[in-house]
Amino acid sequence: MLPPGATIGMLGGGQLGRMSLLAGRKLGYHFVVLDPGGQAAPAASVADAVIAAPFDDKAALDELARRTDRITLEFENIPKGTLAHLEQTVAVCPGRSVLEVCQHRLKEKSFLRDNGFPCVPFASISSVDELRAAVAELGFPSVLKTADSGYDGKGQIKLSESTDLADAWTKLGEVPCVLEKWITFENEFSVVCARNTAGEEQAYPVFENEHCNHILDTTIWPARICPDLEAEAQALALAITRELQAVGLITVELFLTQGGKWIVNELAPRPHNSGHVTLDAAVTSQFEQHIRAVAGLPLGAPDALSAAVMVNLLGDRWPAGGQPDWKVLLEEPRAKLHLYGKAEARPGRKMGHFTMLAPELPDALEKAKSLDKSLTL
């Protein structure tokens, strides 16, 4: 166990890093962040120290290892060599073997399929001819995704009968891709699981997620599903986390089909946007759980203390040179505003979120929707 007072290294200084650091500081840990953006990174202002360097800078990695007792991360698109280099001298949680699966869509889907977990029918694509053959098999609609580096819907194109396949292949950069069958789902959900260094595990109650333009828009918690389905989703997510032997958090994104079956969409080896709702509505936030798991502390209870609805605040809402008028939101006594300290707002950029708490979920949802509207330009 890494006792409070020790220093943890964080690869990446985005909002997930920032909120993990805030939770870890409450427990008495110190943090050194490595991020190419340096002081501009959202986590920088809450870190003890920041190393401004690219993730493949060996001297910077050596410095991070020297100054910390253990290392974790806040996003999975870290170059392969980085973890291999760090693991020579310091423990990294989750480790290289977990990242290798979760940062590559083809490896991730193969891992799921080979271990008998329900996943989207898919094919590996490395040429336009393979794309044509796979489309003939999987049909339309389907979705072509780059095998690595995708997030928030970036690096993917939905294909229909009218799509020019050669054009889609070129648009994605003619890089290794995965073709997936398009799933007609009832709704989208996620389960955040934690596993600590002693193998203790916990799963949060299921999050219900609404997306807009492929980006998470709203999370409803607890999800409006029956207890049997919820237990099934948690068991599935925990089995995946165990199979990966992950230390830290594993988020499992799920589709619920119209036939009531769970299908895994993708995995994230870190805190997840849908879990932000736990900051204000759970006994233990996903960020505290992340630090507990990585430090080898006993895990906290994941239970919900309140019904809650989380709404993402994207840069689209920011007027040029200013910020939204927060008055209505701040006047709502059960609403919680979180801003990530990003200087520049861009369309699609996650600038913050708010959470609406209420004793009954329908009230939280109604109020969240009306606050959401009040903030729209």
Q: Determine the interface stretch with ligand ADP among 164-172, 175-183, 337-345, 355-363 (rule: CB under 6 A).
A: 175-183
The interaxial angle of helices 227-244 and 105-114, nearest 10 deg, is 110
Are residues 245 and 261 in contact, defined by beta-carbon separation less than 8 angstroms?
no
Nearest to 318 by CA among 364, 349, 282: 349
108 touching ligand ADP, by CB under 6 A: no
Question: Shortest gap between Cβ of 344 and ligand ADP (angstroms)?
Answer: 21
CA–CA distance, 297 with 200 (Å, rounded to integer)? 10
253 touching ligand ADP, by CB under 6 A: yes
Angle at 287 between CA 285 and CA 292, to 5 degrees: 95
208 touching ligand ADP, by CB under 6 A: no
Question: Shortest gap between Cβ of 215 and ligand ADP (angstroms)?
Answer: 8
Query: 178-194 burial, b if ≥16 CB within 10 A, otherwise e?
Result: bbbbbbeeebbbbbbbb
Question: What character string, x for contact with Mg ion (CB under 5 A) and - otherwise, covers 259-278?
Answer: -------x------------
106 touching ligand ADP, by CB under 6 A: no
Residue 214 near which of Mg ion, ligand ADP, none (CB within 5-8 Å, type-dependent):
ligand ADP
Question: Shortest gap between Cβ of 31 and Mg ion (angstroms)?
Answer: 26
CA–CA distance, 264 with 254 (Å, rounded to integer)? 5
Residue 180 near which of Mg ion, ligand ADP, none (CB within 5-8 Å, type-dependent):
ligand ADP
188 touching ligand ADP, by CB under 6 A: yes
Are residues 52 and 25 in contact, defined by beta-carbon separation less than 8 angstroms?
no
Are residues 179 and 131 in contact, defined by beta-carbon separation less than 8 angstroms?
yes
Question: Shortest gap between Cβ of 250 and ligand ADP (angstroms)?
Answer: 15
Q: Determine the interface stretch with ligand ADP among 47-55, 96-104, 145-153, 315-323 (rule: CB under 6 A).
A: 145-153
Q: Determine the interface stretch with Mg ion among 128-136, 177-185, 249-257, 272-280 (rule: CB under 5 A).
A: 249-257
Between 94 and 150, CB nearer to ligand ADP = 150
Q: Determine the interface stretch with ligand ADP among 14-22, 150-158, 315-323, 354-362 (rule: CB under 6 A).
A: 150-158
Size of the site for ligand ADP (CB under 6 A): 15
Size of the site for Mg ion (CB under 5 A): 2
Question: Given the structure tokens 């869509």, which residue do they identify?
Answer: 105
For residue 136, what are the contacts with CB-CB under 8 A and spacing of at least 6? none
The phi, psi pair for 148, rounded to 5°, reads: -130, 170
Phi-psi domain of 296 (left: phi exceeds 0; alpha: psi -120 through 50; beta: other): left
Among 4, 48, 182, 326, binds ligand ADP (CB under 6 A): 182
Between 69 and 130, CB nearer to ligand ADP = 130
211 touching ligand ADP, by CB under 6 A: yes
Give the β-pairing of 307-314 and 7-11: unpaired
Q: Determine the interface stretch with ligand ADP among 33-41, 177-185, 224-232, 338-346 (rule: CB under 6 A).
A: 177-185
Question: Shortest gap between Cβ of 209 and ligand ADP (angstroms)?
Answer: 7
End-to-end CA distance of the chain: 49
Element spanning 313, H or E: strand 307-314
CA–CA distance, 85 with 289 (Å, rounded to integer)? 26
**Chain CA centroid to CA 44, Å:** 20
Among 152, 232, 243, 303, binds ligand ADP (CB under 6 A): 152
Are residues 215 and 271 in contact, defined by beta-carbon separation less than 8 angstroms?
no
> Which residues contact ligand ADP (rule: CB under 6 A)?
120, 143, 150-153, 180, 182-183, 188, 211, 214, 253, 265-266
> Which residues contact Mg ion (rule: CB under 5 A)?
253, 266
